[in-house]
Structure 1
């Protein structure tokens, strides 16, 4: 048996240009809205204008009478057609409520009530104006922080509006530690709701072939096979009768991991119509109905000894899941509590997690869905440093996990290994020249300028995690011409899986990257895979490609050795050619070997099957693979206007060996900008009566290149126990950026005694913080 490790890496680790870019940058990408099917209908949803109301009646006669309208569906038409609405990541037991259309009651502004199908989108929207719904307004539960005490229930059968609850060890166990500690620091912090906001909104085409009883779905999704399984369960048909095709996807960020209620409606309606039905979400719908994330708060506390070393940590965490969470939020909610100790030596810790329904849009997955653990911990540590009288960097140094501490298990039972938090922390400080900045900061304050520096160091669990994500498959077919086609599940949403797969396969087989092509996102031809999520793609795909390529390399070497008349161990295969070192005139190209394999089966060595095609599957060996990073941000705050100007932004990360540094750095850049947006700009806001007030980009603010500084990167590379040593990089930037920016602003405003407890840090919010701090100081 040959060893793939002996193949010289020629492409992995290089800054190879992205294969996707020429297509995408020249406008040749193919998205859901580019697909046109014969006789295709177009869908439009009539949505609730009220956050909570009883549906008394629905009059659709005017809409049905409009020329070009093909059908109008209400809950009575579609909801009873549901066979099973369980999502891939739902835990065992009853699933949370998930009706296609609102039935007896609407539960948030934007709740889909009626589905209209027409010849085109314009007619469908006109018909929507002719639907009359008689609503009886009901008191909404808007403030999730008061939902558990409300007399009103978002869903019957969920007392106290609790969607779920999970706790660690009893808090009373830790109370003696807090009682005896030299320092106890407490902080409550709220994080606002914001949205994934992909460039491409949600979209779906479902086409039912009545004769074959088969469904074909074109979807903007991160998980084609997840959509396939869901559609089969929804319709009550065998999986082989469902084909899902995902071509180019303009971003997902977690929002497109799981099918949502509108997707259910389109699938069900397509079967009733017996043809093709397209739904493309507009931007207002997206900001109103596609889902929110991050709406949560926590009461965090830590106990410290006289030297500032952590003795215990506790987090009381509450999360708003809205009216209809897109999938079970319990996993991410539990991870928030379990990860709260982070990259620090914490002898004892506990947590309590509560998930709460409200009459707002449902929660969806979002890049680093457990991110609040870092917000709560890192903001608390800066507050602790100020109270104890230490520099925040020094406090972290005294508590941060070092290599000699590993492997270890954190107090919540999570095994930690192969991480470098201390190394990334020190690298980031050195890149800034931290001491020099502190001197600059002091000089600036004497001149009336307020500079600040903030950091966040975090650990990120990647790969595995759930049964749905625990394996990944690949099929490699070497064609008779010698071309190499690699079939993987896909779910690429801007994370460059095409380029990644080509690089991995070229090195694993020992061929030129130009010979390799990849086919992804079509469940009819690709092996099952979990798709994009949880920073899993690099490690899992590497494993699947390596297992499969090994099968083919063994076959290639056996055929070449048989033709050369030498032992297999004497043959080398690299650069797409088999040779015997030291023996002139012995060479076979991959095309020549493929010709033997396909067209000359009689000349194959004993035991070697004809053809060059193989399938393999990688299974995670470790329960999780850890990545880690430190984010460091400096800023200047104008205390009169509240404007925050980011000066420098530094990220030191350890994602293991980089398959393609361009791709890795692009992922860090993208996630970091999203985290900056969460700290300073983005807010999916509701008024007190439950009406969304940020349903356009005039109101929902996103960071642009104008507000974003150059992001400086440092790399620490330590291998993981997974294939190739790769760890995962997708989520991290969005986890580390928000607390780093918060801490930088808080550090700038430290002379005023400001404590930050609520996001986003808009100019008005910062001015209020300063005014309140001044008033408090004056009154005392």
Structure 2
């Protein structure tokens, strides 16, 4: 970067009210379902009622005879039009899994889209879908991913043993001697159930095709408008400049909307075959059965300790459920579980193996920290190990956690940790709780017959990848003739407050008044290319893009002001929407006055300074990865008769670097933490032995509400990362740290009864049975 730099931040770091809240909180947001196009038609999917069945034939004649029905598309109508559908996030050359738009030849899970009905309105389309006759020939489903490799049936014929893929670290035999000779080895098989994002707004898009111009416009509920444009271009064989994707408000994504899925493909393909714009909005039941699941996995995890409780080695053999149609290629995620299993601890040696396996259930999708299982397995195992060794779990962690002064260091799997504070956040969280006081309270409670417990989780997470699709981010900034500022970024804001973040950063970078800054996001026709939201990248990457771009405009404005005020450029300061001479704030030019010269009085510009005040820039991440870390501490009380868990206190000490907006940071932590609490205690995608989903409404799929979640207390340690402003990511951590903390708190409460917890979720019935068995 060249040219004058911004002075001390005025807005970044402050609790600036979110600029999007006035419209969102008053019901004036603009979502996909609010978009109306002339003559718009509506789509609805015919979905398989069977987990696995051969499709012998489809008769749509009755449906087509229904008034208002325009078309019924099957695989033979849409699938042949597919060109080259691969995800930029993964790359063209990475192994991928089958992904036909509509089921072709065989349905592979309950909810598999088999046909697409297009009608005048949603009601007619739904009625018509019931009239489409599909001749299913039932086949034996592969429901349990844990036994899928031994099953005689295949989910996909091209994948023997139902194996998506596998990877491994150093040979496990090399660590056998360490484990054999260790003073203590903790080893458990830990299971996590399937649960998922369940965003407030379900998936949906509107696709409008213009035959005369060969152009397509898509309004989408997505985290990645530019990736959706790229994907559509490859899917349909259209030039990118003929596709426009518009993303407005999006009611949550959490990874589920990070990539286009099969239904999106169908609507894109069908839009060129109908005479008007085509709209599809998913209902809640469709979302629960077909939008994708996360977390479903298990592992054989083991940690070896010396006689003093110091870790000697760690190993994990991980298996995850990929479902029938995972998005994206899931082997990368399971590999990260193995790579990060050592966590933020001093672990001299480690190894791992990981496998991803198909099943006849809904496909695995990205979900907020999709590698989260590594923390669950490690942190639950550490508590079990401490109890087996007669040691306080907190003391065991103290002996092994990395300190700030030990960094940088690579974990034994080669992950290069830097700029993190595991021990420091751990101690801060325990101090906030007053750990000693809680243990004394626990003794009194146990004497009175009450079962209260405390659990922790300390983790390190990768954010802001500097590689591949996510490695760069662009921004365009235009100071209008009025002096107001418009900032154009790719966006992808899905509740993570990118609007407010951009306004804060741009106001500081330019020295503008925050009230004069506006941002335009999510429209590929006018915003620079960007990677969208995912991988906890948005804050740091957007900050870099704004800084790169603003530096060009600052240099130009300073030059104009210095020329007009007859001062040296080095004496010009930009602040409060004005350029003034340092030390004499009354002598200066306002942004409108500078803009008037730049746009309307080019003869008054200094030599070499171009007219106008608009610039574009692109930021490249400065390191392959930026690391963040946190400690979660949870206390709870368990009713040993009913199995009910009541959370008492919840504390998060987070190091995500300097905070652009503490309110936004804490909101992100809170949202992820509540999702993790739901995963630990309530949420469960369940199937019967025939592959029928048992949790298809919110009567069965339970979500935490405000009555179940305690007030979350926040502690912050700010260690700058290697990127712009020292900012790190914070979007995923809450969902990573909360399940282990809750599980460990419950296990601690029940420890006097000899209860060991290695399986989720901790439903009242499950815990009641555990207590009964222990007694």
Sort the TM-score into its range (normalised by shorter chain). over 0.9
| Paired position in structure 2 for 1:139 | 140
| Paired position in structure 2 for 1:778 | none
Residue 688 of structure 1 pairs with residue 689 of structure 2: yes
Following the alignment from structure 2 to structure 1, what is the Cα–Cα distance between the partners of residues 449 and 713? 28
- Alignment of structure 1 residues 58-69 onto 2, 5 Å: 58-69=58-69
| Paired position in structure 2 for 1:77 | 77
Is the alpha carbon distance of 1:284 and 1:582 closer, same or farther for their aligned partners in structure 2, counting shifts above 3 Å? closer
Following the alignment from structure 1 to structure 2, what is the Cα–Cα distance between the partners of residues 93 and 681? 36
Is the alpha carbon distance of 1:601 and 1:465 closer, same or farther for their aligned partners in structure 2, counting shifts above 3 Å? closer
CA deviation vs aligned residue, 1:415-459 (integer Å, no higher than 9, x gap):
011000101100111111111111111111111111110000000
Following the alignment from structure 1 to structure 2, what is the Cα–Cα distance between the partners of residues 309 and 491? 44
Q: Tell me the CA shift for residue 567 of structure 1.
A: 2.0
Q: Tell me the CA shift for residue 261 of structure 1.
A: 0.3
| Paired position in structure 2 for 1:648 | 649
Q: Tell me the CA shift for residue 496 of structure 1.
A: 0.4
What SS does structure 1 have at the residue aligned with 2:454? strand
CA deviation vs aligned residue, 1:340-398 (integer Å, no higher than 9, x gap):
00010000001101000000000010001010000000000000000111100000000
Following the alignment from structure 1 to structure 2, what is the Cα–Cα distance between the partners of residues 5 and 383? 52
Following the alignment from structure 1 to structure 2, what is the Cα–Cα distance between the partners of residues 366 and 702? 16
CA deviation vs aligned residue, 1:110-147 (integer Å, no higher than 9, x gap):
00001000000000001011110011000000000000
Following the alignment from structure 2 to structure 1, what is the Cα–Cα distance between the partners of residues 152 and 64? 40
Q: Tell me the CA shift for residue 95 of structure 1.
A: 2.6
Aligned length: 774
| Paired position in structure 1 for 2:260 | 259
Residue 773 of structure 1 pairs with residue 774 of structure 2: yes
What SS does structure 2 have at the residue aligned with 1:273? coil
Following the alignment from structure 1 to structure 2, what is the Cα–Cα distance between the partners of residues 384 and 94? 38
- Alignment of structure 1 residues 265-280 onto 2, 5 Å: 265-280=266-281
Q: Tell me the CA shift for residue 566 of structure 1.
A: 2.2
**Given the two structures, how large is their TM-score scaled by the length of structure 1?**
0.98
Residue 50 of structure 1 pairs with residue 50 of structure 2: yes
Is the alpha carbon distance of 1:743 and 1:4 closer, same or farther for their aligned partners in structure 2, counting shifts above 3 Å? farther
| Paired position in structure 2 for 1:538 | 539
What SS does structure 1 have at the residue aligned with 2:436? helix
Following the alignment from structure 2 to structure 1, what is the Cα–Cα distance between the partners of residues 453 and 723? 39
Following the alignment from structure 1 to structure 2, what is the Cα–Cα distance between the partners of residues 522 and 498? 14
Q: Tell me the CA shift for residue 595 of structure 1.
A: 0.7
Residue 234 of structure 1 pairs with residue 235 of structure 2: yes
| Paired position in structure 2 for 1:777 | none
| Paired position in structure 1 for 2:413 | 412
**Given the two structures, how large is their TM-score scaled by the length of structure 2?**
0.99
What SS does structure 2 have at the residue aligned with 1:328? coil
| Paired position in structure 1 for 2:423 | 422
Is the alpha carbon distance of 1:584 and 1:137 closer, same or farther for their aligned partners in structure 2, counting shifts above 3 Å? closer
| Paired position in structure 1 for 2:7 | 7
| Paired position in structure 2 for 1:34 | 34
Following the alignment from structure 1 to structure 2, what is the Cα–Cα distance between the partners of residues 512 and 554? 18
Following the alignment from structure 1 to structure 2, what is the Cα–Cα distance between the partners of residues 94 and 448? 56
Q: Tell me the CA shift for residue 586 of structure 1.
A: 2.8
CA deviation vs aligned residue, 1:157-177 (integer Å, no higher than 9, x gap):
111101011100010011110
Q: Tell me the CA shift for residue 330 of structure 1.
A: 2.1
CA deviation vs aligned residue, 1:626-647 (integer Å, no higher than 9, x gap):
1110000000111000000101
Is the alpha carbon distance of 1:135 and 1:500 closer, same or farther for their aligned partners in structure 2, counting shifts above 3 Å? same
**Gap regions ≥5 residues in structure 2:** none
Residue 88 of structure 1 pairs with residue 88 of structure 2: yes
Following the alignment from structure 1 to structure 2, what is the Cα–Cα distance between the partners of residues 477 and 27? 29
- Alignment of structure 1 residues 134-533 onto 2, 5 Å: 134-464=135-465, 466-533=467-534
Q: Tell me the CA shift for residue 584 of structure 1.
A: 7.7
8 Å Cα contact 1:89-1:466 kept in structure 2? no
| Paired position in structure 2 for 1:22 | 22
Following the alignment from structure 1 to structure 2, what is the Cα–Cα distance between the partners of residues 153 and 50? 15
| Paired position in structure 2 for 1:592 | 593
**Gap regions ≥5 residues in structure 1:** 775-780
Indicate the RMSD between aligned Cα atoms, in angstroms.
Answer: 1.0
Is the alpha carbon distance of 1:6 and 1:64 closer, same or farther for their aligned partners in structure 2, counting shifts above 3 Å? closer
Q: Tell me the CA shift for residue 403 of structure 1.
A: 1.7
Following the alignment from structure 1 to structure 2, what is the Cα–Cα distance between the partners of residues 256 and 3? 39
8 Å Cα contact 2:6-2:509 kept in structure 1? no
CA deviation vs aligned residue, 1:699-752 (integer Å, no higher than 9, x gap):
000000000011111111111111001111100000000000000000011111
8 Å Cα contact 1:207-1:274 kept in structure 2? no
Q: Tell me the CA shift for residue 331 of structure 1.
A: 2.0
Q: Tell me the CA shift for residue 274 of structure 1.
A: 4.2
Following the alignment from structure 1 to structure 2, what is the Cα–Cα distance between the partners of residues 4 and 74? 60
Is the alpha carbon distance of 1:5 and 1:581 closer, same or farther for their aligned partners in structure 2, counting shifts above 3 Å? closer
8 Å Cα contact 1:204-1:220 kept in structure 2? yes
8 Å Cα contact 1:89-1:328 kept in structure 2? no
CA deviation vs aligned residue, 1:446-499 (integer Å, no higher than 9, x gap):
111111100000001000254111100000000111010000000000000000
8 Å Cα contact 2:466-2:472 kept in structure 1? no
Q: Tell me the CA shift for residue 328 of structure 1.
A: 1.1
Following the alignment from structure 2 to structure 1, what is the Cα–Cα distance between the partners of residues 275 and 591? 47
8 Å Cα contact 1:2-1:553 kept in structure 2? no
- Alignment of structure 1 residues 712-727 onto 2, 5 Å: 712-727=713-728
What SS does structure 1 have at the residue aligned with 2:27? coil
Q: Tell me the CA shift for residue 771 of structure 1.
A: 1.5
8 Å Cα contact 1:202-1:281 kept in structure 2? yes
8 Å Cα contact 1:475-1:488 kept in structure 2? yes
Is the alpha carbon distance of 1:127 and 1:583 closer, same or farther for their aligned partners in structure 2, counting shifts above 3 Å? closer
Moved more, 588-597 or 90-99: 90-99
What SS does structure 2 have at the residue aligned with 1:675? helix
8 Å Cα contact 2:305-2:311 kept in structure 1? yes
Return structure 1 stretches of 4+ with deviation > 3 angstroms. 1-6, 582-585
Following the alignment from structure 1 to structure 2, what is the Cα–Cα distance between the partners of residues 234 and 724? 38
Following the alignment from structure 1 to structure 2, what is the Cα–Cα distance between the partners of residues 333 and 403? 28
Following the alignment from structure 1 to structure 2, what is the Cα–Cα distance between the partners of residues 45 and 489? 31
Following the alignment from structure 2 to structure 1, what is the Cα–Cα distance between the partners of residues 581 and 24? 43
Is the alpha carbon distance of 1:430 and 1:63 closer, same or farther for their aligned partners in structure 2, counting shifts above 3 Å? same
Q: Tell me the CA shift for residue 5 of structure 1.
A: 4.7
Following the alignment from structure 1 to structure 2, what is the Cα–Cα distance between the partners of residues 99 and 390? 53
8 Å Cα contact 1:4-1:508 kept in structure 2? no
What SS does structure 2 have at the residue aligned with 1:195? coil
CA deviation vs aligned residue, 1:213-244 (integer Å, no higher than 9, x gap):
11100000000001000000000011111100
CA deviation vs aligned residue, 1:199-222 (integer Å, no higher than 9, x gap):
000000000010111110000000
